[in-house]
Amino acid sequence: RVAITAGTDETEFEEYPSGKYKRSEDMIQRFLRVDHAGEVGANDIYAGQMAVLGRTKEAPLIQHMWDQEKEHKSKMNELLVEHRVRPTVLLPFWRAAGFALGAGTALIGKEGAMACTVAVEDTIVTHYTDQIREIIDQGKEEEYQDLLKIIKKFRDDELEHHDTGIEHGAELAPQYKLLTKVIKLGCLTAIKIAERV
């Protein structure tokens, strides 16, 4: 909206309310696109782990975490439709990479699989916390209160998975610090890309 002050040549530019609305929608679309990609990838990570460890004593534990990720994925699918958000165009790549990561680390052994879980979930917990903070900083907590509840619930589930990984020997994996550092870097890169495409 343009306002011209009478008797002067001064022109004041004021932003349409729709501009603020568009920024909010852009933020939510960015959130949902990357969160959906993350939950799909997490599902495939656990699928890869189960392909290797499905007949071991660790299988029920991995299956429990996978079942929670399936719920997350299902909810994210609903939210994409509700908010008319297209998924990332790189989804097939994330799926293949997720399965390969899950299976590859599981081949190291139970500790490798748990180290993968710790690294991925640590990154996702931070990511979800950043989203919660951004919504609050934008003053949108009331407008998006339902979405906030979902993100907080997912964040807490991922934190539980992280702690489970630690409790079940993640830090005993060969080259634990290097392994988790590389996985975290990969996750952060995937997040940045998925936010944009």
Q: Per-residue pLDDT tens for 98-151?
A: 999 999 999 999 999 999 999 999 999 999 999 999 999 999 999 999 999 999
pLDDT at residue 48 is higher than 70: yes
127 Cβ neighbours under 8 A, 6+ residues apart? 34, 38, 191
pLDDT at site 21: 47
Q: Per-residue pLDDT tens for 4-28?
A: 344 444 434 344 344 554 567 889 9
More confident residue, 9 or 72: 72
CA nearest neighbour of 66 among 46, 50, 48: 46
| Residue 38 near residue 88, CB atoms below 8 Å | no
